[in-house]
Structure 1
Amino acid sequence: MNSEFIIAVHSLVLLAHKPDGMASSEEIAANVCTHPARVRKVLGFLRKNGYVTTREGSGGGYRLCIDPSDMTLADIYRTMAAGAIKPNWCSGNPDMDCMVGSNMQEVMNDVFCGAEKQLESYFQGITIGQMLSRIKACQKT
């Protein structure tokens, strides 16, 4: 899993929490505990994919443009992190004479692709709105 996915989900939940659905990159970054430039990069992907819009100038920032109950973690995962659980390197070599060494990469690729499908399936059942509800349920009174 990559940090961009985490930043995206956190940012979207924060925007869903805001009464007007809008926040600046500085405000989001302070809430996420990261640098505003990272937030702008992540929200740029989200804007490109139609999840947020921007307003420039005084009082500007990022605003949700999709209902939080219609936005699933699977949607965000596919936008920000698809393929992230597959390792960059795998043992073996398809040109080896050994049955194990020559087939390990293909078999591991199938394993990780299956794991990613399971993860996406799980994420499909969780919306940004539900994430906000979970956070509200955790709030200490």
Structure 2
Amino acid sequence: MNSEFTIAVHSLVFLAYQPDRMASSDRIAHNVNTHPSRVRKVMSCLRKQGYVAAKEGIGGGFILSCDPEEVTLAEIYRATSMGTFKPSWCSGDTGGECMIACNMAEVMEGIFGEAEEQMMKFFERQTINGVLDRVRTLQKERT
């Protein structure tokens, strides 16, 4: 899994927390604790998918353009990270004589595919608003 998914969820939750205010990529990056260029890359993807709107120039930034109660983490994962759960390298040797080495890559691909399907089922039940609720609950427990 790549970090774009986490950046996207964090950014959307941050915008859902302040739904009537624009946030610059610098402000979001400070909250996410990453570089503004990474935030801009992820936000560009989210803008193309219709989750946020953007305004350039002074006073510009990003604002939520979706209902955080309806947007699921599965949607965000599909938009930013689908297929990244499986590592890019898998052990094995398709030309070898060993039964294990000849079949391991294909078996592991199936295992990672099944795991990603299960994760997506879980993500379908999680919304941006639900993540914000979890943050609020955790904050109340800490105070």
| Bin of the TM-score, shorter chain as denominator length | over 0.9
Partner of 2:10: 10
Listed as ranges, the matches of 1:91-130 within 5 Å are 91-130=91-130
How many residue pairs match? The answer is: 141
TM-score between both structures, scaled by the size of structure 1: 0.94
CA distance in 2, matches of 1:132, 1:100: 45
Ranges of 4+ aligned residues in structure 1 off by more than 6 Å: none
Indicate the SS of the match to 1:139: helix
> Who is 2:36 aligned against?
36
Change (3 A) 1:75 1:21: farther
Q: Distance in 2 between matches of 1:29 and 1:135?
A: 18
What 5-or-longer segments of structure 1 have no aligned partner?
A: none
Question: Which residue identity lines up with residue 38 of structure 2 in the other structure?
Answer: R
The alpha-carbon deviation at position 32 of structure 1 amounts to 0.7
CA distance in 1, matches of 2:12, 2:84: 20
Does the 8 Å CA contact 2:52/2:63 hold for their aligned counterparts?
yes
Alpha carbons 2:5, 2:77 under 8 Å: kept: yes
The one-letter amino acid of 2:11's match is: S
Equivalent pairs: percent with the same residue? 55
Gaps spanning 5+ residues in structure 2: where?
A: none
Partners of 1:117 and 1:70 in 2: how far apart?
Answer: 20
- The 2-side partners of 1:134 and 1:90 are apart by 36
Question: Deviation of residue 21 (structure 1)?
Answer: 4.5
Provide the C-alpha distance between the structure 1 equivalents of 2:43 and 2:52, rounded to a whole number of angstroms.
7
**Over aligned residues, Cα RMSD in angstroms?**
1.2
Query: What's 1:77 paired with?
Result: 77
Distance 1:36 1:105 in 2: 37
Alpha-carbon distance in structure 2 between the residues aligned to 1:132 and 1:41:
23
Whether contact under 8 Å (2:19, 2:63) holds in the other structure is no
